DNA sequence: TGTACATCAGTGAACGCGCGTTCACTGATGTAC
DNA sequence: TGTACATCAGTGAACGCGCGTTCACTGATGTAC
């Protein structure tokens, strides 16, 4: 887990309490999961009264929404940086993000924990979504012949699903032994099997059946 | 959402309160998410005192663990039934399970909500895992030449990751428009891009890069 | 077939606790003149 | 440069609530004789 902020000195005016609270929130989520979060504990760990936290975030959902927003921003930045290195690098960056920021990852697509209609969250999601969808369209060739549009879309969803599922299962600790322990290597070894996407334009006979 | 039990008549001795509580738990999770569950509410919805629920489940983690156990059992049954119809059918069954039992799916791989070391849960996980791993090894040809073992394993993880990620994103409601609305069709359209797995025995040049 | 009794499956009151929220208040900082 | 004042960023006490847990108790059922 990589904290998103550097240290601040303790005065009455904290300086960057909002950031500090989000860092502590992330730490609590890593320790106990997103279901066992309380504003009071987060505030206490940041060394301030719990009302100070309420000053920055309207309520618990607001706190979690802010973490999700921060996460989508950071994910977008990571994916944007990887895009130039090609399709596979974006996938590797996605999985690496989930490992470096597991708490953010844990709340970023959780409509039951986060206010998905929050304007700032929506903006951040649009940014990360642009790389996710756009990047795949580029990589697989967006100027596809007819019937290619759905194929391009489903190829993108396949790639997203694969890396997202890999993150989820990996973070849950339910993957079996025998896999590469290095996460970049693991991602490449698994994503290799997404071979069909970049290779052809037409729909094959149903793949892998029998 | 498909309830796993049929109705019971109300007597002092309920008849199948354990089942009824799990059904209500599933309903609460679908409505508000696994983070907003309380024993008292589940008991109240089942029409019994909250102490009656404590009689059947030691605590909240026990309640959620029982749901996860039930889920793994049902998933194993579904996957076992689909296995004969081939590799792709197993994936379709997996996604269909997540849609029919979203509450179960939401807790089945959540070490922060569930006691993963619970013996009954472990047994149920072993059962579902057997189809998941074993099925893939069969479908891709387990008698692979050398260097094929890791390849077979990662192919299985790729398939699992893809369908698992698809479930997660679909249930979260974050998939973009333009995709097939029928879930079986969606799964097939996406899983098609996992083409590399069933087709060859040797590792290709790095797939999809560029 | 009756009866006694153990066990199973529930009730309902009481507990202490941590929660989110509200409130009046205060210390530190920035700005107008 | 100094002072007044508004605003920002916190404190700490108090609230009512729902929570999980514990406890003594009871109704229904099953079994031994």
Q: In this predicted structure, what is the pLDDT of residue B164?
A: 98
The pLDDT of residue A118 is above 80: yes
pLDDT in tens, A105-117: 999 999 999 999 9
Q: In this predicted structure, what is the pLDDT of residue A205?
A: 38
The pLDDT of residue A156 is above 50: yes
Q: Residues 54..93 of B with a Cβ closer than 8 Å to A: which?
A: 86-89
pLDDT in tens, A183-193: 999 999 999 99
pLDDT category at A140 given cuts 50, 70, 90 is low
Among the listed ranges A87-91, A175-179, A202-206, which one has the minimum average pLDDT value?
A202-206
Mean pLDDT score, A155-184: 96
* Number of neighbouring beta carbons within 10 Å of residue A113: 23
B131-144 core/surface letters (b: 16 or more CB in 10 A; e: else): bbbebbbebbeeeb
Q: In this predicted structure, what is the pLDDT of residue B140?
A: 55
Place of tokens 């579902």: B128
pLDDT, chain A, mean: 85
CA–CA dist B93, B187 (Å, integer): 9
pLDDT category at B161 given cuts 50, 70, 90 is very high
Tell me which of B13 and A129 has the higher pLDDT.
A129
How many Å from the CA of A20 to C1' of C24? 27
Mean pLDDT score, B14-24: 90
Among B86, B150, B206, beta carbon nearest to A209: B86
Residues of A in contact with B178 (CB under 8 A): 150, 153
Residues of A in contact with B191 (CB under 8 A): 158, 207-208
pLDDT category at B13 given cuts 50, 70, 90 is low
Tell me which of A129 and B147 has the higher pLDDT.
A129
Q: Which nucleotide is nearest to B18 (CA to C1')?
A: C9
Reading the block at residue A34, the tokens are 């997103």
The pLDDT of residue B210 is above 90: no
pLDDT category at B7 given cuts 50, 70, 90 is very low
Chain A residue with the nearest C-alpha to that of B161:
A165
Q: In this predicted structure, what is the pLDDT of residue A148?
A: 75
pLDDT category at B21 given cuts 50, 70, 90 is very high
pLDDT in tens, B190-204: 999 997 444 443 333
Mean pLDDT score, B91-104: 98
Q: Does B178 touch chain A (CB under 8 A)?
A: yes
Instruction: Determine the protein residue whose CA lies at the shortest distance from the C1' of D11.
Output: A49
How many Å from the CA of A40 to C1' of C20? 9
Rg (CA), chain B: 20
Tell me which of B5 and B44 has the higher pLDDT.
B44
Q: In this predicted structure, what is the pLDDT of residue B16?
A: 87
Tell me which of A141 and B201 has the higher pLDDT.
A141
The pLDDT of residue A202 is above 50: no
Q: Does B175 touch chain A (CB under 8 A)?
A: yes
pLDDT in tens, A33-62: 999 999 999 999 999 999 999 999 989 999
Residues of B in contact with A160 (CB under 8 A): 165, 169
Q: In this predicted structure, what is the pLDDT of residue B176?
A: 93
């Amino acid at each position: 887990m990589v904290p998103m902020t550097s240290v601040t000195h303790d005065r009455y005016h904290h300086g960057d309490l909002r950031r500090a609270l989000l860092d502590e929130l992330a730490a609590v989520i890593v320790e106990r999961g997103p279901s066992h979060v309380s504003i009071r504990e987060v505030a206490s760990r940041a060394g301030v009264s719990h009302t100070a936290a309420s000053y920055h975030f309207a309520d618990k959902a607001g706190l979690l929404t802010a973490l999700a927003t921060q996460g989508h921003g950071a994910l977008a930045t990571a994916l944007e940086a990887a895009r130039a290195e090609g399709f596979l690098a974006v996938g590797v960056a996605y999985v690496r993000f989930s490992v470096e920021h597991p708490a953010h990852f844990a709340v970023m697509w959780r409509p039951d924990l986060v206010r998905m209609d929050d304007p700032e969250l929506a903006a951040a999601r649009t940014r990360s979504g642009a790389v996710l969808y756009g990047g795949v369209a580029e990589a697989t060739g967006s100027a596809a012949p007819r019937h290619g549009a759905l194929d391009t879309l489903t190829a993108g969803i396949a790639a997203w699903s694969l890396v997202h599922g890999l993150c989820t299962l990996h973070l849950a600790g339910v993957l079996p032994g025998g896999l590469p322990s290095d996460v970049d290597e693991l991602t490449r070894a698994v994503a290799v099997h997404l071979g069909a996407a970049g290779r052809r334009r037409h729909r094959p006979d149903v793949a892998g059946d029998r």
